[in-house]
Amino acid sequence: QTVVTQEPSLTVSPGGTVTLTCASSTGAVTSGYYPNWFQQKPGQAPRALIYSTSNKHSWTPARFSGSLLGGKAALTLSGVQPEDEAEYYCLLYYGGAHPWVFGGGTKLTVL
């Protein structure tokens, strides 16, 4: 059973910078896992932010960036805004019969 692990919760001050990470129980996360990041606010559907490690969708604010960091996928928010308070999920690709696994999510509080 593959497990994808994220920080359960993080707190950041408005205007600050925070990095969320995404680890795989199978080992280091590489670009071959095509890391995706999604934002979800209460009562809303998830919204795609980042794909294939570091690529932004046309609607993704510039303050969001994706990378690989220390064997994990990472999502960095720079100049955090109050509206960035949300749950963030990573998604990794494993191929085979069970191709996709979501992380457990990180609840980001802007305080």
Catalog residues that contact other proteins under the rule CB under 8 A: 34, 36, 38, 40, 45-48, 51-52, 55, 57, 87, 89, 91, 93, 97-105
CB of 10 to other proteins, least distance (A): 15
Q: Which is nearer to other proteins, 77 or 106 (CB)?
A: 106
Q: Which is nearer to other proteins, 13 or 52 (CB)?
A: 52
CB of 44 to other proteins, least distance (A): 8
Q: Which of 27, 21, 32 is nearest to 103 (CA)?
A: 21
Residues contacting residue 6 through CB under 8 Å, at least 6 positions apart: 20, 21, 22, 23, 88, 89, 90, 103, 104, 105, 106
Q: Which is nearer to other proteins, 47 or 85 (CB)?
A: 47
Q: Helix, strand, coil: what percent of the chain each, to 5?
A: 5, 50, 45
Q: Which is nearer to other proteins, 58 or 82 (CB)?
A: 58
CB of 13 to other proteins, least distance (A): 26
Residue given tokens 């606010």 in the structure block: 41
CB of 29 to other proteins, least distance (A): 14
Q: Which of 46, 47, 24 is nearest to 35 (CA)?
A: 24
